[in-house]
Amino acid sequence: MAIRRLDCWEWDRFCSFASRYVLGKRADIETLSPDMGYRLSADRAPIHGLYYDSSRDLIEIWLTDTAHRIHRPREIYVDDLAHGLLNFTVIDAEGARQIIVLHEPLMLAAPQVGNSAF
């Protein structure tokens, strides 16, 4: 699929879906702002959920140690495939772009017990 813009009425449904989908994944959150330039807000941080609160006009991305808040979102763009979500971008009222890139956690093999070469 291609990158697509979500309509406002889809935001709550998208956040509910994404909140379940992102469990166990890691996220990079990059902020591109006309005022502050580029800032890396999270670097492969474990992500636990995503929530849109229409009454407070707020999107919260729950990470292990903190919540990344996007106040007054105006546009959401989603880049997804048939098998899942790759990343999404939220543009707020000030024109700052919050780019959330999802990563699968690194799966390492279990340590070998028993015979060793040493």
pLDDT at position 118 is 54
Assess contact for 61 and 100: CB atoms under 8 A.
yes
What does the pLDDT profile of the chain (118 residues) look like in tens digits? 578 999 999 999 999 988 888 888 999 999 999 888 999 988 999 999 999 999 999 999 999 888 999 999 999 999 877 666 789 999 999 999 999 998 887 777 777 776 655 5
Determine how β-strand 3-6 pairs with β-strand 67-71.
unpaired
Domains of the chain: 3-103 (2.70.180)
Q: Name the 3-class secondary structure at 71.
A: strand
Q: Name the 3-class secondary structure at 102.
A: strand
Instruction: Return the HEC string of 11-31.
Output: HHHHHHHHHHHCCCCEEEEEE
pLDDT at position 28 is 93
Q: Name the 3-class secondary structure at 8.
A: helix
pLDDT at position 92 is 95
pTM value is 0.82
